[in-house]
Structure 1
Amino acid sequence: MSQYPKPHQLERDALGRLVLIDAVGTRHVGVYPVRAFPITAPGAGISIMDQSGKELCWFDGITTIPEGELALLEEGLAAREFMPVIEKITEVSTFATPSIWDIETDRGPTRIRLKGEEDIRRIAGNTLLIADSNGLQFLIKDSTQLDKVSKKLLDRFR
């Protein structure tokens, strides 16, 4: 059961910030949602945090969030969670590191620089997280679902 009683309310203020109004009427301006398990269980465990990082509310899952407020939370999560999904690896400059990778993501084609093989991490099952030299994180949801060329290029680094 959610720790988010009905008297709480979420809304946007005139500046577009997310506002939580708690059970006693206190307005918490600039709150933001955070997923507990953004990759392995994105629909489970969502917290509402204040600007100092203190948890104000907890939802066991998205099914416990009222429909009107769910849209606000999803907007906040989308703005906060920028993790492009790699759909295809088209070219790799060298099979030694550092190397330059040309990839296609769900947000379009790009080029990343891989510093070392340790920048490719297995998260769960066939899910991989790749960190480029600028600190951006890229996700491969299921490495077994990549095309043949992408799998071959990726296998050279694992």
Structure 2
Amino acid sequence: MTQHNPANQLHRDSLGRLVFVDAKGVSHIGVHPVRAFPITAPTSGIGIMNQSGKEVCWYPNVADIPKAELVLIEEELAAREFMPVIEKITRVSTFATPSIWDIETDRGPTRIRLKGEEDIRRIAGNTLLIADSNGLQFLIKDSTQLDKLSKKFLDRFR
């Protein structure tokens, strides 16, 4: 593992791939960033992984990443980390599973199907991860901040 130092560089090549150049001048083509704790601590710890899955650089804190590199990292993470955030539950077909939920997310309204109550998992504190029948993950950052109707629907399944 290589701690980030000013001699390291991160840039895109002519094909749009991320390239990490370490302090020795070795280019690692096609690297990708990975958050250490994407849900519970998204701003602490990002590793730059090569195509074999080996870490070539470690950023202990997002705030310490140079601005130009952070832009590249955030672009790459946005493409890789697709996890809509549930803001409201508007309708539930039945209080038994399987059930169909109409929800509003940070990406717009949608409908999901829950196979079982085990598809709702507590991650940390009041943070929930909900998996629909297609395997797509949805996040509720803080279940205590949902509106009254959403909490009522959710309580029936927990």
C-alpha displacement of 1:39:
0.7
1:113 and 2:107 matched: no
**Aligned 1:87-98 pairs, distance under 5 A:** 87-98=87-98
Alpha-carbon distance between aligned partners in 1 of 2:64 and 2:144, rounded to the nearest angstrom:
33
Q: 1:65-93 CA deviation, whole Å, 9 max, x = no partner? A: 11111111111111111000000101111
Q: Secondary structure at the match of 1:89?
A: strand
Q: Equivalent residue for 1:76?
A: 76
Q: Which amino acid aligns with 1:67?
A: K
TM normalised by structure 2 equals 0.96
Instruction: Report the Cα distance in structure 2 between the residues aligned to 1:93 and 1:50, rounded to whole angstroms.
Output: 45
Partner SS, residue 39 of structure 1: coil
Counterpart of 1:156 in structure 2 is: 156
Aligned sequence identity (%)? 78
TM-score by length of 1: 0.96
Q: How far did residue 59 of structure 1 move?
A: 0.7
Following TM superposition, the consecutive aligned residue runs of length 4 or more in structure 1 with deviations greater than 2 angstroms are none
Measured on the aligned residues, the alpha-carbon RMSD in Å equals 1.0
What is the aligned partner in structure 2 of residue 132 from structure 1?
A: 132
The one-letter code matched in structure 2 to 1:100 is I
For structure 1, the 5+ residue unaligned runs are none
What does 1:33-72 align with in structure 2 at a 5 Å threshold? Answer: 33-72=33-72
> Number of paired residues?
157
Structure 2: runs of 5+ lacking an equivalent: none
What SS does the corresponding residue of 2:24 show, helix, strand or coil?
coil
